[in-house]
Homo-oligomer: A and B are copies of this chain.
């Protein structure tokens, strides 16, 4: 899964009322998703936030696990956060690492959805291509991100009408499914 990376987007996302906002960086989003991304062998985990103060806060969290007491106490977490990069927007990812195919994830049904099997098959047939999975915080990604993206991934569906996974759980499930598709 080395040609896959993941990005956690804090802007533009929706709030409860459907307004476009920037959400706050959350410590659990940082290390839960980092540990998943590292376990499943992804290339990078990008934390995307337009505000310098929030990027500084994320960097402070990461430094805790990378250095000093945090590293000594929990070296596994330190190893996980090594793949994190903090950026201000998707353009910065492209500037640093080149063009990625963008795959948005969503909890809602939409048009032109791609399933994981088809995505992984495409990635295997195009090993020089890089893929970036976009996850939204808050109440989900704003429409402009869907318009930017190359694909929208079919949502994870539960057993009934209730379908409100945290972004951390959704990311874990999608990375596991990608890995299992790679193996088939």
Q: How far is the CB of A79 from chain B (nearest CB, A)?
A: 6
A169 and B38 alpha carbons, distance in the complex (Å): 13
Contact of A179 among B16, B159, B169 (CB under 8 A): B159
Name the CB-closest residue of B to A182: B159
Majority secondary structure, A binding face: helix
Partner-binding segment picked from A84-92, A96-104, A120-128, A170-178: A170-178
A110-161 contacts to B, CB under 8 A, are 156, 158-160
Name the CB-closest residue of B to A158: B39
Name the CB-closest residue of B to A169: B172
Chain A residues with a Cβ under 8 A of chain B: 1, 16, 28, 31-32, 35-36, 38-41, 73-74, 76-77, 79-80, 156, 158-160, 162-166, 168-173, 176-177, 179
On whether the beta carbons of A169 and B35 are closer than 8 Å, the reply is yes
6 interchain residue pairs of minimum CB distance: A41-B159, A39-B158, A169-B172, A76-B164, A172-B172, A173-B176
A140 and B79 alpha carbons, distance in the complex (Å): 19
Contact of A156 among B16, B162, B176 (CB under 8 A): B176
